[in-house]
């Protein structure tokens, strides 16, 4: 068995274990294979091992690669996980099923306009900077209810949930409070919106901290190195 196949088997086992530990069903967690910087051959191998969701973080790279990866009848789902500039919104809407990184109303408006021109309703997540790190993109948690409400009112954008990137730390336990904070924020926003909309998705957890994220309620984890590296 090749390295990627072995990595994926182990990853799925570990996700299932984290689900069991926290009383969740393993089908509640979608694994997005983050393929930035990987070759077409590597990505095709991952797809042949059952990967259904591919994530990229640069528009130019994704434009080149996704064309080569999408077979006519493939069910490949595409995710944008990087920082999106407003002037690239149109390209992103063209090629991605889910944009994880909406971090301003201005960006959401640009996505809405591009999606309207394509007759598409674009699924998005709102990126929240729960840790408050200066270097991170994302809206402030205290702005989330209002910003989400405004984004929600855009007709060609559909807000599915929230995304965050935990600060880098050697011990993955340090990420847990940030994951918990994102889940609580989602639940607060849902309570405030009083059933006019419900956010379900939580995109959180990467190669080093996906177990903690799953235990705290992640519905999408974004994994690169654990799939492609030994
Ligand atoms: C690269 C990247 C990932 C995957 O990171 P790994 O540590 O390789 O699993 C996840 N999310 C985002 C936003 C990324 O840029």
How far is the centre of ligand 1, averaged over its atoms, from the C-alpha of 142 (Å)? 25
Neighbouring CB atoms inside 10 A of 176's CB total 17
Mean pLDDT confidence for 69-73: 74
Instruction: Supply the pLDDT for residue 122.
Output: 98
How far is the centre of ligand 1, averaged over its atoms, from the C-alpha of 79 (Å)? 12
How far is the centre of ligand 1, averaged over its atoms, from the C-alpha of 197 (Å)? 29
Ligand 1, pocket residues at CB < 6 Å = 34, 36, 57, 81-82, 165, 206-207, 222-226
For the CA of 222, the nearest atom of ligand 1: 10
CA-to-CA separations, 190 to 40, 117, 144, 193, 220, in angstroms, rounded: 40, 30, 11, 5, 18
How far is the centre of ligand 1, averaged over its atoms, from the C-alpha of 223 (Å)? 6
For the CA of 226, the nearest atom of ligand 1: 9
**Shortest-distance Cα residue to atom 14 of ligand 1:** 81
How far is the centre of ligand 1, averaged over its atoms, from the C-alpha of 211 (Å)? 15
CA-to-CA separations, 85 to 39, 71, 82, in angstroms, rounded: 25, 28, 10
The rounded radius of gyration (Å) of the Cα atoms in the chain is: 17
Instruction: Supply the pLDDT for residue 195.
Output: 67
Instruction: Supply the pLDDT for residue 230.
Output: 79
For the CA of 82, the nearest atom of ligand 1: 13
pLDDT tier, 73 (very low <50, low <70, confident <90, very high otherwise) = low
Q: Is the pLDDT at 124 greater than 90, yes or no?
A: yes
pLDDT tier, 62 (very low <50, low <70, confident <90, very high otherwise) = very high
- What is the sign, positive or negative, of the torsion defined by CA atoms of 20, 49, 11, 126? negative
Structure tokens that stand for 126 in this block:
């709102």
- pLDDT above 70 covers a percentage of the chain that reads 98
What are the pLDDT digits (tens) for 192-229?
Answer: 987 677 999 999 999 999 999 999 999 999 999 999 99
Among 211, 224, 226, 230, the mutation site with the greatest number of ligand 1 atoms within 8 A of its Cβ is 224
Instruction: Supply the pLDDT for residue 59.
Output: 97
Nearest to 99 by CA among 62, 72, 130: 62
d(CA 161, CA 217): 12
Q: Is the pLDDT at 66 greater than 80, yes or no?
A: yes
How far is the centre of ligand 1, averaged over its atoms, from the C-alpha of 101 (Å)? 13
Structure tokens that stand for 75 in this block:
């069910």
What are the pLDDT digits (tens) for 157-202?
Answer: 999 999 999 999 899 999 999 999 999 999 999 999 876 779 999 9
Q: What DSSP line would sit under 197-212, residue for residue?
A: ----EEE---TTTHHH
For the CA of 34, the nearest atom of ligand 1: 4
């Amino acid at each position: 068995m090749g390295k990627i196949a072995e990595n994926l088997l182990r990853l799925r086992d570990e996700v299932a274990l984290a689900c069991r530990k926290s009383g969740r069903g393993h089908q509640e967690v979608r694994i997005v294979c983050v393929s930035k910087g990987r070759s077409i051959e590597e990505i095709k191998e991952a797809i042949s091992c059952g990967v259904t969701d591919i994530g990229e973080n640069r528009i130019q790279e994704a434009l080149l690669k996704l064309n080569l990866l999408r077979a006519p009848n493939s069910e490949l789902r595409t995710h944008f996980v990087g920082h999106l500039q407003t002037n690239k919104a149109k390209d992103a809407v063209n090629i991605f099923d889910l944009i994880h990184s909406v971090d301003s109303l201005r960006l959401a408006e640009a996505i809405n306009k591009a999606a309207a021109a394509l007759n598409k309703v674009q699924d998005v997540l709102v990126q929240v900077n729960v840790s408050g790190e200066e270097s991170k993109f994302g809206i402030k948690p205290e702005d989330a209810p209002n910003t989400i409400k405004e984004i929600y009112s855009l007709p060609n954008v559909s807000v599915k949930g929230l995304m965050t990137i935990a600060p880098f730390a050697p011990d993955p336990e340090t990420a847990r409070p940030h994951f918990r904070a994102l889940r609580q924020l989602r639940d607060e926003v849902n309570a405030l919106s009083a059933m006019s909309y419900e956010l379900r998705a939580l995109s959180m957890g990467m190669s080093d901290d996906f177990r903690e994220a799953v235990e705290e309620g992640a519905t999408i984890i974004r994994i690169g190195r654990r799939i492609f590296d030994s």
